[in-house]
């Protein structure tokens, strides 16, 4: 007796012959081979399900009649997801048939900036395309841009000297004029900044630092003919009180200082150098002689 076995639908492996002729009582093995992207589901015999119909290959023992076995296949359905750069934040999760292309999440992924970098979304890894395997994961990719910060240099009083942008990790350079500080009675020298200039890690302001000394001045009195002077000094600090005195000799009197001041002893706060001369003059007296009776005689006075 000849038996007929037929296997159909969606790419089944070739039989030695199909239909296969076999003797009564033989054992036969039938195999369903799905094409890429599909999987075997079940067999049906004569259009009906039967116990063990999900076996593949399927062994038919002791063939006793002709029969038709139909293999059923189904397209593979895969899980996929879109995750953010960290690999854990799920942005979109779904299932999709083999060979279909998913759509990206509605919201554009973001990545927080660091002190060094800003990040901008650049796409997915792998690129979005046909899904051909289960549990496909698309990871958000970002390009990094080195951040820049404003570095300021200011004078001791906060007056701006230089403001410019520098990339993270670079060391800023001050290229302006040497800072200056002026104050009456003092001399200041720029000695640097309030802290060492270092590689940029964020916005920063450097403040000019100065060393200062109080100015000193020479107060020099001189004596003209007919007297002496005292007081003054070679290095008297700005703002310090000082006294200079002019003392006339016998038969002389003080007139004035060469700067016009008429105080013989003058006290003042030093605001600058002073070089003055005391002027003296001879005291003069008038000797008057009179005759009590010019008819009787006259008088005269002569300087000896």
CA separation for the pair 78, 100 (Å, rounded): 10
Q: How many CB atoms lie within 10 A of CB 99?
A: 14
Mean pLDDT of the chain, nearest integer: 93
Domain 149-214 fold? Immunoglobulin-like (2.60.40)
Q: Binning pLDDT at 50, 70 and 90, where does residue 304 land?
A: confident
Q: Binning pLDDT at 50, 70 and 90, where does residue 3 land?
A: very low
Asked if domains 78-146 and 149-214 share a fold, the reply is yes
Q: If you search the block for the tokens 């350079």, which residue do you land on?
A: 173
> Of all helices (H) and strands (E), which one includes residue 237?
strand 233-237
Q: What percent of the chain has pLDDT over 90?
A: 88
Q: Is the peptide bond before 275 cis (omega within 30 degrees of 0)?
A: no
pTM > 0.95: yes or no:
no
Tell me: pLDDT of 17 over 80: no
Nearest residue to 159 via CA among 133, 141, 177, 173: 177
For residues 25-42, give the mean pLDDT: 96
Q: Binning pLDDT at 50, 70 and 90, where does residue 16 land?
A: very low
Q: Which CATH code for domain 78-146?
A: 2.60.40
Check if the beta carbon of residue 221 is closer than 8 Å to that of residue 276.
yes
Tokens of 80: 């996929």
Ordered by start, the domain boundaries in the chain are 3-75, 78-146, 149-214, 217-282
Task: Give pairs for 27-30: CB < 8 Å, separation 24+.
Answer: 27/59, 27/60, 27/61, 27/62, 27/63, 28/59, 28/60, 28/63, 29/57, 29/58, 29/59, 29/60, 30/5, 30/57, 30/58, 30/60, 30/69
Residue 14 confidence (pLDDT):
39
Residue 6 confidence (pLDDT):
36
Q: Give how far Cα 27 sits from Cα of 33, 48, 75, 85, 249, Å.
A: 20, 21, 31, 57, 155
- Over the stretch 84-142, which tens digit does the pLDDT of each residue have? 999 999 999 999 999 999 999 999 999 999 999 999 999 999 999 999 999 999 999 99
């Amino acid at each position: 007796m000849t038996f007929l076995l037929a296997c159909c639908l969606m790419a089944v492996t070739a039989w030695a012959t199909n239909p296969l002729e076999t003797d009564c009582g033989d054992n036969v093995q039938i195999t369903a081979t799905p094409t890429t992207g599909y999987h075997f589901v079940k067999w049906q015999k004569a259009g009906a399900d039967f116990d063990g119909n999900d076996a593949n290959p399927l062994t038919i023992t002791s063939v006793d009649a002709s029969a038709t076995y139909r293999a059923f296949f189904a397209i593979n359905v895969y899980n996929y997801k879109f995750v953010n750069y960290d690999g854990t934040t799920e942005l979109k999760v779904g299932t999709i048939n083999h060979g279909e292309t998913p759509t990206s999440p509605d919201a554009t992924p973001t990545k927080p900036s660091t002190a060094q970098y800003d990040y901008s979304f650049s796409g997915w890894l792998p690129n979005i395309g046909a899904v051909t395997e289960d549990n496909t994961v698309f990871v958000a990719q970002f390009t990094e841009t080195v951040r820049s910060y404003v570095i300021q240099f200011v004078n001791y009083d906060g007056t701006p000297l230089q403001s410019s942008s520098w990339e993270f990790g670079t060391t800023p350079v001050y290229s302006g004029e040497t800072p200056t500080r002026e104050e009456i009675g003092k001399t200041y020298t720029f000695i640097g900044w309030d802290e060492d200039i270092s590689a940029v890690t964020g916005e920063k302001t450097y403040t000019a630092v100065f060393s200062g000394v109080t100015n000193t001045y020479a107060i020099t009195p001189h004596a003209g003919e007919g007297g002496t002077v005292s007081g003054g000094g070679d290095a008297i600090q700005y703002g310090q009180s000082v006294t200079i005195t002019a003392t006339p000799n016998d038969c002389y009197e003080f007139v004035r200082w060469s700067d016009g001041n008429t105080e013989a002893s003058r006290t003042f706060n030093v605001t600058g150098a002073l070089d003055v001369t005391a002027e003296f003059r001879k005291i003069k007296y008038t000797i008057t002689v009179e005759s009590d009776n010019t008819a009787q005689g006259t008088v005269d006075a002569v300087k000896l």
